[in-house]
Structure 1
Amino acid sequence: MNHKTLLDYINKHINLTVEEEAILFSKVVHRNYLKDQYIVQQGDTCKHTNFIISGCTKTFYMDEKGQEHIVMFSIEDWWTSDLGSFITQTPADFNVQCLENTQLIQFTTESLEALYIEIPKLERFFRKVAERAIVASQKRIIQNFSLSAIERYQIFKKTYPEIDQRVPQYMIASYLGITKEFLSKIKSELIQKQ
């Protein structure tokens, strides 16, 4: 399994010695998931936080009517999990499902706690990862309240430049909180403006 992707990501924020790298990788699990497999299911306790080596996932909430509400896509070099469930070890509010065959490096709460003790600078690193996730979540909430659908789509295109080609349009519409038909109309309008 390729450790280089995670090491490159970590090294953007902190530097690990060769010994620290060995400790880090002694505490992780490598997993391969097939397209459509669930990493986390709503109602189950999220046991891992996951760094994506390759592949694509969606994080979504399924309401009582069976309607899917996508809150996030994750691709290479991104993290995915139900963070609230992972931190509190309570039932997950969200599902995380693979949209492609996906390779992950997984951390359990126990392995993270051990790493924080053995390599204290990793605690700061993971705090920064969690802080960025919280900020992104808050920005998304504000955007959903304050921006038009076309503005939300333009932000989506900047945030996820490759996703448009990797996931079905109805999922992008769900992420934006609009219908697939309305998304088609927005895309047509943007093409006409070019």
Structure 2
Amino acid sequence: MKDLILKNISKHISLDCQEESYFLSLLKEKKVIKKELILEHQQTCNYIHFVQSGILRAFYMDSSGKESTIMFAVSDWWITDMYCFINQKPAMLNIEALEDSSILQLSKDHLEELYLKVPKFERFFRIIMQNAYIREQLRTIENLSLPAEERYYNFINKYPEAVKRIKQKQIASYLGITPEFLSIIKTGKQKNSFS
């Protein structure tokens, strides 16, 4: 299973066998069951997580209990509450497993050790964080400028293998629309595919 994370890393940096072994020794493998929270609001955010299998969801819950999905992480993705992880602050987000999942966790302390002992990991995580920032900026622009239907089609393209495994209510909260409106969009899409 650790081949997947090494392949993920090799997209941006090359490691020798010793560096690979050292990196893998810092990871903690964790199995999580469906609906389990691996991070809860106000808990200290100590880990960045790599998804080996399954799907995770990061969401914000307001004081009235309304959930807004911030992101999904499928196999081969990284996820955390980045602001809180970097600054070691209480979490603003919750991260839950949407299905039984397997993750690899890297602690903040181990990440700092990694930067010192294998400096090229600074490059790797800089690229990961840049890509995450770009993705969120584009998502914000989409939410401000595109109709909900187009945002839904973009979502399908972004998460093609997971769209059938994620609840409609969670997809709607990611898109910033109601589940009922998402149903109307999906019904319209089905009608168009038969014409």
Q: What residue number does 2:35 align with?
A: 36
Hey, what's the Cα distance between the residues in 2 that align with 1:140 and 1:96? Answer: 19
Which secondary structure does the structure 2 equivalent of 1:132 belong to? helix
Q: Provide the rounded CA distance (Å) in 1 between the counterparts of 2:168 and 2:130.
A: 30
Provide the residue aligned with 2:3 in structure 1. 4
Cα distance in 2 for residues equivalent to 1:181 and 1:8: 40
Report the Cα offset of residue 192 of structure 1. 2.3
CA distance in 2, matches of 1:80, 1:125: 15
Where 1:105 maps in the other structure, the secondary structure is strand
Tell me the TM-score normalized by structure 2.
0.96
TM-score (normalizing by structure 1) = 0.96
Residue aligning to 1:81: 80
Partner of 2:133: 134
2:157 corresponds to which residue? 158
Number of residue-to-residue matches in the alignment: 193
Per-residue CA shift, 1:119-167, capped at 9, x if unaligned? 1111100111111111111111111111110011011011111222111
Task: Give the aligned partner of residue 24 of structure 1.
Answer: 23
Match in the other structure for 1:182: 181
Whole-Å separation in 1 of the counterparts to 2:187 and 2:35: 30
Deviation track 1:19-65 (CA, whole Å, cap 9, x = no partner) reads: 11111111111111111111111111211000000110111000111
Q: Which residue of 2 aligns with 1:90?
A: 89
Cα distance in 2, alignment partners of residues 156 and 71 from structure 1: 13
SS in 2 for 1:97: strand
Give the corresponding residue for 1:170.
Answer: 169
Give the residue type in structure 2 aligned to 1:65.
S
Unaligned runs of 5+ in 1: none
Question: Which deviates further from its counterpart, 58-67 or 179-188?
Answer: 179-188
Q: Any idea what the Cα deviations from partners look like across 1:79-131, whole Å, max 9, x if unmatched? A: 11111110010111110000111111111111011111111111100111111
Task: State how 1:62-81 maps to structure 2 within 5 Å.
Answer: 62-81=61-80
The percent identity for this pair of structures is: 41
Residue aligned with 2:59, SS: strand
Give distance in 1, aligned partners of 2:69 and 2:174. Answer: 5
**What residue in structure 2 maps to residue 15 of structure 1?**
14
State the SS of the aligned residue for 2:102.
strand
2:130 counterpart SS class: helix
Q: 2:63, 2:82 → 1: CA distance? A: 22
Gaps of 5+ in 2: none
Cα distance, 1:191 vs structure 2: 2.1
Residue type of the partner of 2:164?
Q
- SS of 1:45's equivalent? coil
1:127 partner letter: R
Once residues 34 and 12 of structure 1 are traced to their aligned partners in structure 2, the CA distance between those partners, rounded to angstroms, is 29
RMSD of Structure 2 on Structure 1 (CA): 1.0
Correspondences of 1:97-112 after superposition (within 5 Å): 97-112=96-111
